[in-house]
Amino acid sequence: MNRRYRFILRMCVVLALMASAFAVKVGEPAPGFTAVDSTGKQQRLSDYKGKFVVLEWHNQGCPYTKKHYESGNMQRLQKEWTAKGVVWLTVISSAPGTQGFVTPSQENDYLKTMNAAPTAVLMDPGGSLGHLYSAKTTPHMFIIDPNGTLIYNGAIDDHPTSDQSDIASSKNYVSAALEQALGGKPVAEAATHPYGCSVKYKD
């Protein structure tokens, strides 16, 4: 293989990787990542190939996150779906000094206090995982299927408020999508407008 051809091939691969990194569209491959969780363990999306993965963007001080945690709603979802073999990854992209930023030990304390049950919490203070997924709000939910395809991107439910009293009458998009997908059906509402506080990115 001549040099020029090899160079072009290499550039094509780089461009392909870049292109896939910026696509967060339902129906397309979900961007791969490596991140460190709150126990210090390295987590890769590829580790979970063959399983459904939920990504939950989180900021414990945000009124919309509090709506789902103080009511126990998020913890209920985490328990229900991890019991069915779904991998639940909470992601914290708050930059140091911003609302929602926590040290790993603070996060582990929070998980105990709140009785939360994600598979792991990914610490993303630099925001690179957030930017990779174009995560906009807390909460912002993504679901990836066992083949690595993004099958849901959007809001947790259909009542974009910070009122706990709205949860009972809300349609939970995440549960609906997982029920359909685990049942081998296409996700009816695969992309919705996420609501919440803006993710507190660095810069």
Partner 1 sequence: MTRLCFAIAVLLLLTSAAAIAQQGSTQHAKVELISRQVAVSPGKHLLLGVHFVLEKGWHIYWTNPGDSGQPPSFKWQLPSGFTAGEIRWPRPERLQPSKELVDYGYDDEVLLPVTIHVPLAISDRSAEFAADAKWLICREVCLPEHASLHLTLPVSSSTDLNQQHSQLFAKTDKLIPQLLPRAWNASAASRKDDFVLRIRAGKPIVKAEFFPLDPGQIDNPAPQKLQPTSNGAKITLKKSDLLLKPITVLRGVLVIPEGPAYQIEAPVRQPIQ
Binding site for partner 1 (CB under 8 A): 23-26, 61-63, 98-99, 130-131, 134-137, 153-154, 160-162, 190-193, 195-201, 203
The token duo for 20 is 């896939």
Residue 83 class from Cβ within 10 Å (0-12 exposed, 13-18 middle, 19+ buried)? exposed
Q: Is the dihedral of CA 26, 32, 38, 39 positive or negative?
A: positive
First to last CA, the chain: 44
Between 78 and 153, CB nearer to partner 1:
153
Q: Which helix (H) or strand (E) holds 177?
A: helix 173-182
Q: Please state the closest distance from residue 135 (CB atom) to partner 1, in A.
A: 7
Q: How far is the CB of 3 from partner 1 (least distance, A)?
A: 35
- Of the two residues 31 and 119, which places its CB atom closer to partner 1 in the complex? 31
Nearer CB in complex with partner 1: 97/184: 97
Q: Which is nearer to partner 1, 86 or 129 (CB)?
A: 129
Closest CA to 124 of 100, 152, 150, 159: 100
Give least dist CB 193 to partner 1, A. 4
